[in-house]
Every structure is written in C-alpha cells, then in structure tokens.
C-alpha cells in the first residue's frame, strides 16, 4: 500500500503517515540555510609574552569583548579602565567604542606590563 500525502514534512513508513522529526525552525535542506559568518571567540589573554595568563572574559577575533564588561574594569589614578592579569599583575586597558554596526562595544586599547 502506497501513501499519497501532499504535506512536504510527512514521510510514509509501511503505509502509515509519520510527521518529520526535524527540530522546529530547521531548514528542509542544509542548502536552504544562508551562509552565516561565524564569530570566533577565545578567552582573553594577558598581552605579556612571558605570561599569557587567562582572564575571565571572552574576546572575539575582531578584538572586542563580549558582554557588559566595562562595569567590571578597575579604574586607576589617571581614570583609565583596566583588567589586571591575575598571573603577573599587568594591566589590559579597555575602552568603549562604536563598532561598525553602530553598537557600543568594549575592546582592549592598550597594555601596561609589570616590571
């Protein structure tokens, strides 16, 4: 017995209609999905070559930090915002800037190594 279904998301198994089990919102075919540019994210590292300590923040391949991290930065006597390296004590200076998409972002703008 052969099934005759017009619905595109139904499959017939042994003459019994079965609804396709793809997740909701998934495309019918991989080729139907537009190519998305993947943003690469890595852990923020100390800029001191001999240290390379890890900080508890994420940095994209474009150099901006993810999340609302500016509020977490410490402020020195010259009113510069920075994240101290937990391993060597060097300072990664951070600043807000307007990204090309028009959104306000945070990036590492400088580095002050320890002696």
pTM > 0.75: yes or no: no
- Arithmetic mean of pLDDT, 58-75: 91
> How far is the C-alpha of 79 from the C-alpha of 62, rounded, in Å?
25
Residue appearing with tokens 């998305």:
36
Angle value at C-alpha 105, between 101 and 107, nearest 5 degrees: 125
User: Who contacts 27 (Cβ-Cβ below 8 Å, separation ≥6)?
Assistant: 33
Angle value at C-alpha 109, between 104 and 111, nearest 5 degrees: 150
Tens of pLDDT, residues 9-49: 555 555 555 555 556 665 555 556 666 677 789 999 999 99
């Amino acid at each position: 017995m052969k099934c005759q279904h017009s619905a595109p998301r139904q499959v017939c198994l042994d003459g019994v209609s079965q609804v396709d089990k793809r997740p909701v919102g998934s495309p019918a075919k991989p080729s139907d999905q537009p190519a998305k540019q993947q943003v690469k994210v890595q852990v923020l590292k100390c800029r001191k070559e001999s240290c390379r300590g890890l900080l508890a923040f994420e940095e994209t391949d474009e150099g901006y930090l993810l999340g609302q991290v500016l509020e977490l930065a410490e402020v020195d006597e010259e009113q510069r915002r920075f994240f101290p390296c937990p391993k060597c004590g060097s300072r990664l200076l951070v600043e807000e800037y307007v990204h090309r998409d028009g959104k306000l972002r945070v990036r590492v703008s400088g580095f002050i190594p320890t002696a």
